[in-house]
Structure 1
Amino acid sequence: MTEYVSTTPGLFPLPDWAKDDLSDLKGHQKHDLIRGDESDDITAVYDEARETVLDAQLEAGLDLISEGQLRWDDMLAHPLAVNDAVDTQGIVRYYDNNNFYRDPVVTDELGFSGDVANELEKTVAYTDEAVQAVLPGPYTLADLATDEYYGDEEAFLAAIGEYLAGEVEEFPAHETLFLLEPSLVENAPEDGIHERASEALDTVANATDADVIVQPFYGSLEEKVYAHLLDADIDAVGFDFVTEQDGSLYNIQEYGATDDIALGLLNGQNTLLEEPEAIRDRAEWVFDKLPVSDFDTAYLTTNTETFYLPYSTFEAKLEALADAASLAEVTHA
C-alpha cells in the first residue's frame, strides 16, 4: 500500500515582519551579504524567521519539515554564492520570471562551505520531527553558474556534483534530500550530457543515507532526459502536474518510474488555494492514468518552490498539503 507523505521543495517566502526587518538591516549592511557572513542582527532575524516557518509546518501537520532556505537570496544559486571560490557578479533573471539572482562565477577549485549544513543543524536542534534537506541538483546549479576555472562542461558538472556531495556529507541526520532540478526542463542537457547529469546526481545521492528525491519543475522532462534520470541512484522522481500533465504522464507510461514518486499537485507560484479533497482527487487521477500505481511512497508537494507566494497563502497551502495526505491515507486504508 502506498504511503502518502506531505512535504515541500523548500525555499519558502519570508514572514512579512522579517521582510521589513531585513530590508532595513540589509540597506545599511550590504557588504555583509557577499559571502553569507551576515551581521549578528541579520543572523538573529533569520534565526527567528526560521523558527517561524518551522512552527508553521509543525502546526500544519506536514510529515517532512524543511529548513525553509530563507537566507537564499540567490535562490538555487545560493550554495555557490557563499563559496570562497566563487565571485558573485551581475544580476541574472531566474528562469522566465521576475526574480533575479547574482551570477555565481566559479574562479577557483570549489571547496567545502558548510553553509547549508549549518542551517540544517539549527533545524534539527529545533524539532524532533523528520527533517528534509534541500539542495539544487548538480545540473541546475551548474546551469545557473558561470565557469571560469574548470573549462569544460563535463568537468564542471562533475565538480559541482563533488562539491554538493561534500556538503551533504556534513549534513546532520535527515530523512530525505530533495534535489531541485528545474534546469533539466528549462535548459535540457544536450546529447552526451544526459549521462553526465545522471552521474553527478549519483555522486550527490551516494553522499547520504537518506531517501533522495529529484524534483524537476516548470514542465515535463524530454524523453531522453527522463530515461537517463531513471538510471541515477535515486529513490524518487518528482513531476510538475500543475504545469504539464500530459508530458509527465507520458514519461511514466512510456518509461516507468522509481519505486517512490513525488507529485507536484499544488501551484507554488499562484495564490489560488486548493482544497485538500481536490489535491487528493488529483493524486487519484494521476494514479488512475498509470499502468502501475503501487508506489512505496507518494510525496505530495507543491510543483515549485513557494517563495513567490504571500506568506499567509503559503501557510494555507501547507495546511492543505498535510490534510490531503491524511485524506489519501484514509482512502487507501
Structure 2
Amino acid sequence: MPLTATTLGLFPLPDDARETLADLKGHQKGDLVSGDEPPEIEAVYDDARATHLDTQQAAGLDLHVEGQARWDDMLAHPLTVNDAVDTGGIVRYYDNNNFYRDPIVTDALEASGDVARDLERAGEHTDSLQAVLPGPYSLAELATDDYYGDDADFLAALGDFLAGEAAEFPDVDALFLLEPSLATDPPGDGPDARASDAIDTVASAVDAPVIVQSYWGALPDKVYAHLLDADIDGVGLDLVSAPDDNAVLVGEYGAPDAISLGLVDGQNTLVESPDIIEERLDWFTERLPGMDFTTTYLTPNTELFHLPTNKFEAKLDALATAADRVDATEVDA
C-alpha cells in the first residue's frame, strides 16, 4: 500500500506575510484582481509561497501544494478574480465561522490562467507539485448565478471554466478537486449525475491523477455512486468527522484505484501524534480487508487556513512522520 503524504492546500499566511500585508498602505487584502497587484504585494505573496513550500519540504511531505496564500476567498477564489464575476458582500463560509465574498457571475466564464500562474511560480521550488482547485459543484453552491439562468447550465459552465483553468497548468503530479458541498449540501436526483459530469469535464483536462476530496461529512450513497461514474483516479474521505459512514461507502460501492484519507483535523489546534494517525489508518484498512489501492494519500481532512502557524507546521510534521513509519514497517515486513 504505497503511501503519499500531502495536503488539501489553503494554508495559513505566514506571520510575517500577514503583518506586512496589513501594514502596506492602501492594500485591502483580497480586493485586487490577479495580475493587478502592485509589485510590493506580489513580492509578499511570492515570499509566502516560497515559505509554504519550504515548510512542506522540511516536514517531509511527498507532494507539495502552492499554498494558496492569495486565496482570501478560499474555494471561491478562482471566481472572485475573474473578469466575468462581481464580488458581493460578505457571507458565511459553510456552517462555521469562516467568511468570504459572494462571487456573482455576470457574464460568460472564461479561464484566466490565475491558478496556473501561481503553480508555475511554485514549480520553481519543487519537482513534486500538486494542484488544488475547488470542485465545480462546490463552486456552484458558493456562487450566485446572474448570467446563465439555469442551474444545470451554470454547473456545466463551471465545469468548463475549471477545465479551462486546469488545461493551462504546468506539469503536476496530482490534482485535488475539493468538493465539501457534496457532503454538506448534497445534490438530489438528477443534479447528482450532473455534478459527476461536471467533475468528469475537469478531470479530463489534466494529464495527472485527479482525486475528488469531500469533507465535513460523508456523501449520500447515490451521490457517491454517481461520483464513481466520473473518470477520476481517486476519492477522498474525511476520517475525522465521519469515519464509519465513509468506510461503509467504500465497502459497499468500492473506490477507484487511489484513495485519499483525511486523517488530521484541519479545523482543530490539537496536534495529532503520528501514533494517532497510524491508528486511524489501521482502523480504515482493517474495516476493508482485501481492498488494495495503487496509491493511498494521507492528508488533513480539510484546508488548514485557520490554524496558527505553529500548529499547522506540527500537523504537517506528524502526517509525514506517520507515512514514513508505515512505509518503513511494510518494507521491514
TM range (shorter): over 0.9
CA distance in 2, matches of 1:200, 1:32: 28
Change (3 A) 1:246 1:13: same
CA distance in 2, matches of 1:296, 1:274: 26
Amino acid paired to 2:197:
E
Instruction: Name the residue aligned to 2:311.
Output: 313
CA distance in 2, matches of 1:332, 1:192: 44
Matched, 1:148 2:146: yes
The structure 1 segments of at least 4 consecutive aligned residues displaced by more than 4 Å after TM superposition are: none
CA distance in 1, matches of 2:32, 2:181: 25
Change (3 A) 1:32 1:312: closer
Instruction: Name the residue aligned to 1:227.
Output: 225
Shift of 1:281: 2.0
Deviation track 1:196-255 (CA, whole Å, cap 9, x = no partner) reads 101111100000011000000001111111110111100110000101111111111111
Change (3 A) 1:3 1:78: same
8 Å CA contact 1:253–1:291 kept in 2: the answer is: no
* SS of corresponding position for 1:234: coil
8 Å CA contact 2:29–2:72 kept in 1: the answer is: no
Shift of 1:34: 3.9
Instruction: Name the residue aligned to 1:81.
Output: 80
Instruction: Name the residue aligned to 2:167.
Output: 169
Instruction: Name the residue aligned to 2:33.
Output: 35
Instruction: Name the residue aligned to 2:256.
Output: 258
Shift of 1:23: 1.4
Matched, 1:299 2:293: no
8 Å CA contact 1:32–1:39 kept in 2: the answer is: no
CA distance in 2, matches of 1:54, 1:32: 22
Amino acid paired to 1:116:
V
Deviation track 1:115-145 (CA, whole Å, cap 9, x = no partner) reads 1000000001122x21000000010111100
CA distance in 2, matches of 1:217, 1:202: 19
Instruction: Name the residue aligned to 1:90.
Output: 89
Instruction: Name the residue aligned to 1:119.
Output: 118
- Aligned CA RMSD, in angstroms, stands at 1.2
CA distance in 2, matches of 1:71, 1:34: 10
8 Å CA contact 2:30–2:73 kept in 1: the answer is: no
Deviates more, 1:273-282 or 1:146-155: 273-282
CA distance in 1, matches of 2:56, 2:194: 36
Instruction: Name the residue aligned to 1:44.
Output: 43
CA distance in 2, matches of 1:81, 1:136: 13
Amino acid paired to 2:147:
Y
CA distance in 1, matches of 2:222, 2:124: 42
8 Å CA contact 1:273–1:316 kept in 2: the answer is: yes
Flag structure 1 segments of 5+ consecutive residues without an equivalent.
none
* SS of corresponding position for 1:28: coil
CA distance in 2, matches of 1:216, 1:64: 19
* SS of corresponding position for 1:105: strand
Shift of 1:331: 2.4
Matched, 1:11 2:15: no
* SS of corresponding position for 1:307: coil
Amino acid paired to 2:250:
I
Instruction: Name the residue aligned to 1:275.
Output: 273
Amino acid paired to 1:118:
R
Amino acid paired to 2:288:
L
CA distance in 1, matches of 2:7, 2:301: 9
Equivalent residues in 2 for 1:37-76, closer than 5 Å: 37-76=36-75
Deviates more, 1:142-151 or 1:290-299: 290-299
Matched, 1:135 2:133: yes
Shift of 1:58: 0.6
Shift of 1:32: 7.8
Shift of 1:320: 0.8
Deviation track 1:72-116 (CA, whole Å, cap 9, x = no partner) reads 000000000000000001111000111111100000000121110
Q: Percent identity?
A: 60
8 Å CA contact 1:134–1:180 kept in 2: the answer is: yes
Instruction: Name the residue aligned to 2:187.
Output: 189
Deviates more, 1:156-165 or 1:32-41: 32-41
* SS of corresponding position for 1:271: coil
Flag structure 2 segments of 5+ consecutive residues without an equivalent.
none
Amino acid paired to 1:119:
D
8 Å CA contact 1:93–1:100 kept in 2: the answer is: yes
Shift of 1:291: 4.0
CA distance in 2, matches of 1:278, 1:29: 42
* SS of corresponding position for 2:123: helix
CA distance in 1, matches of 2:120, 2:225: 35
CA distance in 1, matches of 2:298, 2:30: 37
Instruction: Name the residue aligned to 1:22.
Output: 21
